[in-house]
Amino acid sequence: MRPTVVEVSLARLGDNFRAVRAAVAPAAVMPIVKANAYGHGLVEVARHLVALGAPSLGVAFLEEALALRRAGVAVPILVMGGILGNQIPVFLRHGLTLTASSIDKLRQIDDAARDLGVTAKVHLKIDTGMERIGVHYYSAHGLLERASECRHTVVEGIYSHFAAADAADLTSARVQLARFLEVLEWYDKQGVPPPVRHIANSGAILQLPESHLDLVRAGILLYGVYPSPEVRRTIAVRPALSWKSRVVYFKVVTPGHAVGYGSTWQADHPVRVVTIPVGYGDGYFRALSNAAEIIVRGRKYPVVGRVCMDQVMVNIEWDTAYNGDEVVLLGEAGGEAITCEDLAEWAGTIPYEVLTNINTRVPRVYV
């Protein structure tokens, strides 16, 4: 019954998936659904993409993968984040694919699989320039050799991650790709086919077709948002998410009466101010105070005063609005649009953070 909702267009999500799939063929597409599917809803988005033919999914944490398994999602799920040893049996019992980021982790995985009488499935993680997790590219051959000796573990993939594939200057991304390809030469020297090779994220999908290899990992691009202002928009996608609410209060504010915490805004003439039931407790950043715009009755108006935990105020000057009128925080209405990039610029952040900060207090509605 809450008037503030996130509306997700499954049709647009499907269109975006098909556009990415066509652009990278014959490489496969692994949708990345971590962080509640970038705010779009983990289970519903995953189910929809699997129904459209997604062969596998990627998440960050074990808990995300378990939520998908409990929801009946049966396709392979790669957990890309670092793991702890005591988590490994849980991975194996639920048929999840682990990231083996070191020789020690690989040994723990193989030992746990032996003890449980199962075969573990892993992707090897190579650090080509992120310095996050993964064995360094210049010492990766030891991991590959150890993996070839494992008795209870199957290496299904090998991957790395770009640090700057969404930049205008792709010099460092090309260096990372060259390092990854050099690591992969080990398989040729051994006379064995490599496992599934993947390094391309959204930026590389758009800008580095030579990095598509066997599989690409489509993240923010899949949801219709480009990863940076500099990236070349070589694939047409549209935002799948809208954030909406309704007017719950209307009043006239007279000159000299400040609005909101800290009294940071006041008008020098009478204005009409409406209150919207959304705030930083929902992920509408406090940094949007006196900076953002909201669409009311098809027109953009400024947020005034500080964003509260649960409410925000909007100055509609002397225009008209009524309790119950729909407003758009992110999306389109009446020929106007507020984009994820707009909110990111006003808040001094990036589109990724805008999407993933819309928390679960806001209901998701699928259309």
Per-residue pLDDT, 1: 83
Catalytic residue among 34, 121, 125, 244: 34
Domain boundaries, the chain: 10-223, 241-366
Contact 211, 200 (CB under 8 A): yes
Does this model's pTM top 0.85? My answer is yes
Residue 133, SS3?
coil
Name the token pair of 274: 């409406």
Catalytic residue among 138, 249, 251, 261: 261
Who's near 185: CB < 8 A, 6+ residues apart? none
> Which residues pair with residue 313 across a beta bridge?
275, 304
Verify whether residue 366 is a known catalytic residue. Answer: no
Verify whether residue 300 is a known catalytic residue. Answer: no
Contact 138, 182 (CB under 8 A): no
User: How far is 170 from 289, CA to CA, in rounded Å?
Assistant: 36
The mean pLDDT values, 10 residues at a time, for the chain of 367 residues are 96 98 98 98 98 98 98 98 94 98 97 98 98 96 97 98 98 98 98 97 98 98 97 98 98 96 96 98 98 98 98 97 97 96 98 97 97
Total count of residues recorded for the chain: 367
Strand 196-200 to strand 153-159: parallel, antiparallel, or no bridges (unpaired)? Answer: parallel
- Looking at the structure, give the CATH architecture of the domain made up of residues 10-223: Alpha-Beta Barrel (3.20)
Per-residue pLDDT, 56: 98
Contact 109, 88 (CB under 8 A): yes
Output phi, psi for 280, to 5 deg: -65, -15
Domain 241-366 has CATH 3.40.50.11540: no
Q: What is the pLDDT of residues 7-22, one digit of tens each?
A: 999 999 999 999 999 9
